[in-house]
Structure 1
């Protein structure tokens, strides 16, 4: 198994602190549903927003079978497919220590 930290970077610094456009709100609903499905499938250990005072972002901790490309999960994420300015950083975690 291989583990990764996904860091979802929003399209603007104040994202999540104010009103979202209709397209952003729809993409975020689909994004949460997508990651919830990955969680139920056992691919995601945890995910959620981070209230960083320098600017909010989202994280996900993912475990995948060896050889599975984590970039494919990001490419299927509705916020990435919506083309509304999100980007993602995917960082390998050489050793994941988790409860349970």
Structure 2
């Protein structure tokens, strides 16, 4: 008790350098209006399908640990947990998202995680 947690390094096996530090980031995709999930236009739905394909590809590549819509009573939004080497890389992921490149008025909040634990290992926050 009282012992601080030191740096957590990636501990996955299989040829991955255990000293490589990876940061986790939480992405929150905020739609242009609170009822967006229920009132999408055809153009917005098309953009969301592109957005889903983009995030699915990132998940298949191992950059995204999880993503999906959150049914918050105050209004649904999207959430994603991303592994990136630095905030700049996280911002590049955001900027390439079809939802963010669209003219529909989405916003994204990105916050660094203090640490990330997955079935494949633990990742440092620094």
TM-score range for the pair, normalised by the shorter chain length: over 0.9
The structural deviation recorded for 1:83 is: 1.5
Q: Encode CA deviations 1:40-76: one digit per residue, 9 max, x unaligned.
A: 0000000000000110000000012357521111110
Q: Which structure 1 residue ranges, 5 or more long, are not aligned?
A: none
Higher relative contact order (CA 8 A, sep 6+): 1
RMSD, aligned α-carbons? 1.3
> Residues 67 and 87 of structure 1: is their aligned pair in 2 closer, same or farther, counting only changes over 3 Å?
closer
- Name the TM-score, length of structure 2 as normaliser: 0.74
Q: 2:97 corresponds to which residue?
A: 77
Name the SS for the 2:48 alignment partner: helix
SS at match of 1:42: coil
Cα distance in 1 for partners of 2:85, 2:27 equals 16
What does the per-residue CA deviation read over 1:7-55, in whole Å, with 9 as the maximum and x for residues that have no partner? 000000111123x112101100000000000000000000000000110
Query: Is 1:38 aligned to residue 58 of structure 2?
Result: yes
1:49 and 2:69 aligned: yes
With normalisation by structure 1, the TM-score equals 0.92
Which runs of 5 or more structure 2 residues have no equivalent in the other structure?
Answer: 1-21, 121-126
Determine which structure has more spread, i.e. the larger CA radius of gyration: 2
